Amino acid sequence: MEAVMSVENPAHEHPIRPDEQRVSGPKVLVAGASIAGPALAHWLRRWGAAVTVVERAPALRPGGQAVDARGVAKEVIRRMGLDAAVRAACTETAGAHTVDAAGNVLETYRADDHGGDGYIAEIEILRGDLSQVLYDDTRDGVEYIFGDRIAELTQDADGVDVVFAGGDRRRFDLVVGADGLHSALRAMVFGPHEQFIRHLGHVLAFYSVPNEFELDRWLIDYQESGRSAGLRPVPDATQAMAMFSFPAGDFDVDYRDVEAQKRLLREQMAGFGWLTQDILAHLDNTPDFYLDQVAQVVMDRWSNGRVVLLGDAAFSASPMSGAGTGLALVGAYLLAGELTAAGWDPEAGFAAYEKQMRSFVEANQEIGRLSARSREVPGPDAEPSVDFTSEWFAELVERAIDGVELPDYAGVPDSAAH
């Protein structure tokens, strides 16, 4: 849904095709080049697989909302050897202020709260910037195909035959869907979107604006009657990221129709206070507009034969969980690790990956649901408000941040020195 802007990478990046590489592992096709796909490509390539990543957009997509890495996800980044590169690209947000309509500060949250794993995470980075870091890390050992997609897929006991929309036909040992909430691969292999998507009753929007609001390193958020407007800092101090949310039980706007989405945003935020109308004045000139429903993906299983799902395609917890990036990074590590530990046997590897991830995913999805519920306007039939200071919620947060073990896969050979 974000408007696509090209960055410096050609449509096809493959210095060596997978079938020309000297590798010990399988040929793996990954659909999606945002975060989950390139993170998985890092580990698969490192452990001997020949990896192709196909992305339907013509280039990497810059910008997007700020995403966070907390707890165990930070350890995955460290094991990838990317801690310095990720931190260098962070937004360096100092914290967040909630304000009233006049801009008076009501509450303050700092980035170093809770050991850097609080409301504003120590590692906070724009989605597009993290995607670029992961792409730069993997581009020399992974085949990237931009501007194409999987059009047909047929699997048998030994492999998967894939027809690309561009006409190419290839055979792979495994196929991974890391193509997001609206995953085309999930619909192709597992069933229609409606079967797995759970709407949480809200819509979120993000886009870049000139920093004419004297925003420094602090995020500012204004909420009233179920709606919110905010501004957050980005690495380029001349710019800021606008953020909006509003309730929407019925979301029937095409997720690729950007003009219709902008009309919807204007309608829903009409008359809203604080700096809202000044921020909306930049809507027609922004290069990276994004709007989507707040939704989760709930599935009984994430694999079917030789096809498996990863990240939002499998277990979106919604942006209100603050956990989508962490789930993608941890899931990529565990999926690649369990596959290699199982000798690349998909049935055993996929089952172990699901067993490791399931409780972690469920905890983060529960936080996403509670966060969405906390924004609802109280009514006669409303559920009781969430007590975010209770002991049970603290335990839930702990499970959502650190509630998964990261095996060291010490017995797995490191086939490609990193």
Q: Please, what are the domains in the chain?
A: 27-403 (3.50.50.60)
113 confidence band (pLDDT: 50, 70, 90): confident
Q: Provide mean pLDDT across the span 70-74.
A: 92
Cα–Cα distances in Å, from 155 out to 161, 179, 242, 343?
Answer: 6, 19, 44, 20
Structure-block tokens of residue 151: 């059009």
8-12, 55-59, 158-162, 186-190: which range is least confident on average? 8-12
Structure-block tokens of residue 415: 């086939």
H or E element, residue 331: helix 324-341
Q: Give this prediction's pTM.
A: 0.87
Three-state DSSP class for residue 39: helix
pLDDT above 70 covers what percent of the chain? Answer: 89
Number of helices (H) and strands (E), helices first, in the chain?
A: 11, 19
Three-state DSSP class for residue 77: helix
Contact status, residue 185 vs residue 307, Cβ threshold 8 Å: yes
Q: Provide mean pLDDT across the span 233-262.
A: 87
410 confidence band (pLDDT: 50, 70, 90): low
Query: If you ran DSSP here, which 8-state letter would residue 44 be given?
Result: H
> What is the C-alpha separation between 26 and 292, in angstroms, rounded?
36
413 confidence band (pLDDT: 50, 70, 90): low
Q: What is the mean pLDDT of the chain?
A: 88
Residues forming beta bridges with residue 110, ordered by sequence position: 95
> What is the C-alpha separation between 178 and 186, in angstroms, rounded?
9
Per-residue model confidence (pLDDT) at position 5: 32
Per-residue model confidence (pLDDT) at position 376: 73
Per-residue model confidence (pLDDT) at position 379: 61
Per-residue model confidence (pLDDT) at position 47: 93
Per-residue model confidence (pLDDT) at position 23: 55
358 confidence band (pLDDT: 50, 70, 90): very high
384 confidence band (pLDDT: 50, 70, 90): low
Per-residue model confidence (pLDDT) at position 252: 72
Structure-block tokens of residue 270: 């009409």
DSSP character string of 197-232: EEEEEEEEEEEEEE--S---SEEEEEEETTEEEEEE
36-50, 123-137, 338-352: which range is least confident on average? 123-137
H or E element, residue 214: none
pLDDT above 90 covers what percent of the chain? Answer: 68
Structure-block tokens of residue 179: 């193509």
Higher pLDDT, 412 or 103: 103
Please list the alpha-helical segments (H only) found in 170-235: 184-189
Using the structure block, give the residue that is written with the tokens 């989507």: 292
Per-residue model confidence (pLDDT) at position 416: 43
